[in-house]
Amino acid sequence: MGTQVWWKNAVIYQIYPRSFMDSNNDGIGDIRGIIGKLDYLEWLGIDAVWICPVYKSPNDDNGYDISDYMDIMDEFGTMADMDELILKAKEKNIRIIMDMVFNHTSDEHKWFIEARKSKDNPYRDYYIWRDPVNGDKPNELGSVFSGSAWQLDETTGQYYLHLFSKRQPDLNWENEAVRKNIIEVIKFWVNKGVSGFRLDMIELLGKLPDEMITANGPKLHDYIKELYREGFNCNGKAEEIVTIGECWAADTDIALKYTEPDNKELSMVFQFEHSALDEIKGKGKWALKEMRLTELKSIIDKWQLQYDKGWNTLFWNNHDLPRIVSRFGNDKEYRVESAKMLALYLYCLKGTPFIYQGEEIGMTNIKFDTIEEYKDIEIHNMYKEKKAEGVAEEDIMKSIYAKGRDNARTPMQWNDEINAGFTKGIPWIKVNNNYKEINVKKDMEDNNSVLHFYQNLIKMRKDILCIREGNYIPLLNEDEDIAAYTRNTNGQGILVIANFHECTKKISFSDIVSKRIIISNYNRTEIDLKDVEIRPYEAVMCEI
C-alpha cells in the first residue's frame, strides 16, 4: 500500500475568492479576506484549500481567462498577500492548492496580443489559427458558452479557436514552447510552497480541432506526463504535490489513465457522471429532468467498486454547479435535514471530500428577478442564444434557476448584518436574500446546525479508519428513496443510511446489528436495524 499520501487523508475546501470575503469593501472578495478567515477554516477542520484563479485577468470568465499566470489580479490583492496567505495557512497546517487554466489564456495575455499581430509573429503558433472555409468558420465546433468555437480575427483574416468565451483563446499544446512556458508556471508556484493544483479542463489539451476531437485527444497523456516529469516533480517531491484534473468526459477507465500511480500523471480527477443526472441525456445541462436515486446509486457504486485502483474525489458542489441542497435535497422545509443527509451519504464514501464554500451551512440556489442581475458569461450567452431561438423567457429562466453557475457564486453568508457580512461595499453580485436565516454566525451558535454537523463529519473521517480505508458494500440497490452502504476494515464497520426524499419508510437489515449510533441528522439515540422507520431526509451512521 505504501505510505498514505497526505491528500488521501485530507478534507479539501474550495474557495471562490470573488465571493468569499471582501477585506477592503470594494464589493469583491480578495486574498486578505481569505487570510482573515483562516481561523474559521482551522476551526472547521479542513486540511487544504483549493483557491479558484487569483491571477491577472480581465474577468471575462471571472478569472478563468488568465493574462499573467505569475501575477495577482489587482482586485484580489498583491503577490505579497498571496505569499502571506501561503505562510499563514501553513502555520495552521492548511495547504494551498492553486487553480491552473492551461487549456486557454485570456485574449489580454501577452502571448495572444503578440500572436494576433501577424501570421509570422513568433507567438502565432501558441494558439490555434485556421483559414476560412468557403468564406466561413473552419468547421462546426461549438463553444461551451454557446455559438461557434471559432472567432474571426480581422487583422489577419484567420479564425482562432476558443472552446469557451471569445476572450479565452485555446493554447496550442502541440507547440513545445507552450508546454515549456506552462512548466515554468508550475515550477514558479511549486517553489512558492503551494501543495498542489486543480487543473481546469485538462482533458482538452490533446484536442485535434480539424478532426473535431476535443477531450481525450491522442497526445493528452504525453503532455500530462511531461507536466508531471518537469513541473509537478520539479523538486523531486511529486508525492507532496496533489493534482486534480477536471475531466467531464472521464469514465472509470479513462480516469485510471490519469491516476494509476505508475503512470505518473495526476493524483485524482473530478469526474461528473453523478452531476449530470438531472439533465436529459445528450441534451446538455439546461434540459432538465428529475434525478432518480437508483441512477445515482449505480454511478456511485461504479466509482467506488470499479475504480478502486484510483482514488475518488467526493463532491456535490463547486463554483460551476447549483447548490446541492436545492438540487438533490429540499431547500425549504427540510433544508437542514437534507443538507446533513447529503453530506453524510457522500463523505463516508472512499475518497477525498471537496467541500465548496457555503455548502457547510446549507446555502441554497438563488432566483434573481431579472437576467441583468446575473453575472456569469455562460448564463448570458445561453440566454441570448435561447431568446434568439424563440424559447419562452420563463423556460429559459427556469433552466437558469436550476443550473446557472451564479447559484454557487453569491457571496458567502457570514452573519445577518448588511450583505451577510461579506462586504460593507456594494457586492459584485447580489447576496441571497435568505442570509438572515442562513449564515455562519447563526450556525456557529446552534449545535444542531449544518455547520456543526460538517465539523463533526470532518473530524470523524480522521477518527474512523474504515471511512478512509474500508471496503464498500452497497445495500437497498433497488430502493428509489433510500441509499445505504457499509464500510469495513480490520473488523471495524459502519452502516450509512440516507433517505433522499420526504417520505417515511420502513426498512430492515436482517443480518446487520448496530453497536451504537455514531451520528444522526435527527439526533436518533437508538436503532433496531431489523425493523426501522426512516423519516424524511433522515440519515444515520451506525457502528456495526
Supply the residues annotated as catalytic.
200, 246
| 405 near ligand TEU (CB under 6 A) | yes
Q: How many CB atoms lie within 10 A of CB 119?
A: 12
Give phi and psi for 498, each to the nearest 5: -140, 120
What is the distance between the alpha carbons of residues 197 and 355, in angstroms, rounded to a whole number?
16
User: Minimum Å distance from CB 397 to ligand TEU?
Assistant: 17
The yes or no reply on residue 144 touching ligand TEU (CB under 6 A) is yes
Which residues lie below 8 Å from residue 3, measured CB to CB, with a gap of 6+?
A: none
Rounded least distance, CB 410 to Ca ion, Å: 16
Which residue do the cell numbers 508556484 mark?
Answer: 189
Q: How far apart are the first and last CA of the chain?
A: 26
* 34 makes contact with Ca ion (CB under 5 A): no
Partner from Ca ion, ligand TEU, none contacting 28, C-beta within 5 to 8 A by type: Ca ion
- Quick note: the x/- pattern for ligand TEU over 226-265, rule CB under 6 A, is --------------------x-------------------
- Using CB under 6 A as the binding rule, whether residue 28 contacts ligand TEU is answered as no
Binding mask 30-49 for ligand TEU (x = CB under 6 A): --------------------
What is the C-alpha to C-alpha distance for residues 107 and 167, in angstroms, rounded to an integer? 5
Task: Pick what 26 binds: ligand TEU, Ca ion, none; C-beta below 5 to 8 Å, kind-dependent.
Answer: Ca ion
Smallest gap from Cβ 350 to ligand TEU, in A, equals: 25
Pairing of strands 492-499, 473-475: unpaired
d(C-alpha 335, C-alpha 329), whole Å: 7
Q: Which does 89 bind (CB under 5 to 8 A by kind): ligand TEU, Ca ion, none?
A: none
- Told to check if 378 binds ligand TEU by CB under 6 A, we report yes
Least Å from the CB of residue 116 to ligand TEU: 20
Residues 145, 164: Cα–Cα separation, whole Å = 6
- In the complex with ligand TEU, the residue whose CB is nearer, 297 or 405, is 405
Binding to Ca ion by residue 81, rule CB under 5 A?
no
> Choosing among Ca ion, ligand TEU, none, which partner's interface includes residue 24 (Cβ < 5 to 8 Å by kind)?
Ca ion
Which of helix, strand or coil describes residue 127?
strand
Interface residue with Ca ion, options 28, 293, 450, 529 (CB under 5 A): 28
Site string for ligand TEU, 63-92 (x = CB under 6 A): -x----------------------------
- The entry of Ca ion, ligand TEU, none near residue 201 (CB within 5 to 8 angstroms by kind) is ligand TEU
Instruction: Mention every residue, 6+ apart, whose C-beta is less than 8 A from residue 333.
Output: none
Q: Which three cell numbers stand for residue 422?
A: 461579506
Burial label for 492, CB within 10 Å (0-12, 13-18, 19+), is middle
Closest contact distance (angstroms) between CB of 303 and Ca ion is 38
Residues paired with residue 8 on neighbouring β-strands, in sequence order: none
Q: Exactly one of 12, 13, 18, 22 binds Ca ion (CB under 5 A); which one?
A: 22
Of residues 159 through 188, those in contact with ligand TEU by CB under 6 A are 164
Residue 30, binding choice from Ca ion, ligand TEU, none, Cβ under 5 to 8 Å by partner class: Ca ion
Distance CA 158, CA 117 (A): 11
3-state SS string for 323-340: CHHHHCCCCCCCHHHHHH
Our finding on whether 498 is near ligand TEU (CB under 6 A) is no
Q: Toward ligand TEU, which CB reaches closer, 150 or 164? A: 164
Non-local (6+) Cβ contacts of 136 within 8 A are none
Per CB under 6 A, does 201 bind ligand TEU? yes
Closest among 49, 42, 47, 43 to 17, alpha carbons compared: 49
At residue 543, the 3 state secondary structure works out as strand
Q: Which residue is listed with cell 463553444?
A: 143
Pick from 337, 313, 264: which is nearest to 14 by CA?
313
285 binds ligand TEU (CB under 6 A): yes
Q: Applying CB under 6 A, which residues contact ligand TEU?
A: 61, 64, 101, 144, 164, 200-201, 246, 285, 319-320, 378, 405
Q: Applying CB under 5 A, which residues contact Ca ion?
A: 22, 24, 26, 28, 30
